[in-house]
Amino acid sequence: MKKILDEIVWLWKAYPRAPERPGLLMRLYYFWDEAVTPAGHVLCALILFGSLFLFVPGFTVLKGIEGASFIWILLSFIWRRKPKNRIEHVDVPMAIEGEPVQISATLDKPLSASNFLESFRMDPCIERMGGGLLKPRRRGAFLLSKIAIVETHPLGFLQKLRPYEGKAELLVAPKIKTPSRFRFMTEGASGAKFERLLRPENSRGMEFIGTREYREGDSLRDLHYKAFARYGKPFTKEYATESGGGVTLLLDVSTQNFREKMCVESAIRLFGSIAFYLLERNLLGRVFIGNEEILFQDGKSAQKKILAALARIPYADLHTTCTLKKWNVLPSAEVPVLCVAVHRVLWPAVDKQVVVVNREPKVARDDSVRYVLRESEALD
């Protein structure tokens, strides 16, 4: 029963909330959202409520307040002024789903006390918190089509916009939780290639890049004794990973039915978790999403580029089917390939794969496949 309810909830959330082409009602809503302040919303609601008593005998005071409020709104609409400032450039940093992000802009002159920066006509999953602060509730790449400087009328009920002539993009990356361990990578006969990477002579290059705290499995010969003596806890030397010398990580979120679509977001987050796990241990070689490779030079740029690439994967809803080009890269025989997908792949080049499923995990016939429920997103 719980599975059926989960599917119904997913179908409800996956239904698009905004029309592709705004009609008359949407344009009225845009005017209501952009031209009227929250205080104006309350006053308009009171005017609407008071209009019910216009043709009822009595209620003289209420009718007087109704007329004064209507005149007040009308004067505010006539006296609105467009802001004098002009937006020259907009900066939108990458966001994480569920966490607020602040957009900023370069202006031709400083803002006055009654002006502020705001974004309008966004995807319904992005919450506007005021003053250019946005809170996206899900991953994706969103076009911010109307960033504007807002000037509020002195009466406080209406406002006027001066839009930015260009457009900006808000990238919302998935929230990643790095697993503390990932034993499945080295389990069984299929884990022999991965286990070789953990050996000191294969798991790192020759370029020394710094030190970090010792982790279980690190070679004792790489202990940094000066840092150990200084801080009283073990530190190990960290080396850059040789290009292509680590695990080749592959993500395939091509879907065939709506149950696989339900697992796409969990597969994306799990892929990011595994990628960061390998990065921390200098075991990540090449990264592919479908047939597209993510190119990076070091660990810091790798994290940012992986998050940006995951943010751009189309969100799987009722109208969108994610179809990635099939992976056709032939890796070296010594390079292990780990795949994260929403269905089992039959490519011979894949040594291990993690499959995110919606129903109870199937029993794998060999040690190269691990089925994970989308609710758990956990791997030992």
**pLDDT tens readout for residues 201-221:** 444 555 565 676 776 556 666
Give the lowest-confidence range in 74-88, 224-238, 343-357: 224-238
Give 219-227's long-range contacts (Cβ < 8 A, gap of 24+).
none
2-18 confidence digits (pLDDT tens)? 667 776 776 666 766 66
> What is the pTM assigned to this prediction?
0.79
251-287 confidence digits (pLDDT tens)? 999 888 888 888 899 999 999 999 999 988 888 888 9
Half-sphere exposure (CA, 13 Å, Cβ side) for 282? 26
Res. 234 pLDDT band, cuts 50 70 90: confident
State mean pLDDT over 111-140. Answer: 89
> What phi and psi values does residue 30 have, to the nearest 5 degrees?
-60, -45
Res. 238 pLDDT band, cuts 50 70 90: low
> Is the pLDDT score of 334 beyond 90?
no
Structure tokens at 257: 């039915």
Res. 126 pLDDT band, cuts 50 70 90: very high
Is 69 in contact with 46 (CB distance < 8 Å)?
yes
Is 178 in contact with 280 (CB distance < 8 Å)?
yes
* Residue 7 amino acid letter: E
Is 259 in contact with 7 (CB distance < 8 Å)?
yes
Res. 189 pLDDT band, cuts 50 70 90: confident
Tell me the residue length of the chain: 380
- What contacts 379, CB < 8 A, 6 or more positions away? 179, 182, 184, 270, 273, 274, 354, 370, 372
> Is the pLDDT score of 24 beyond 50?
yes
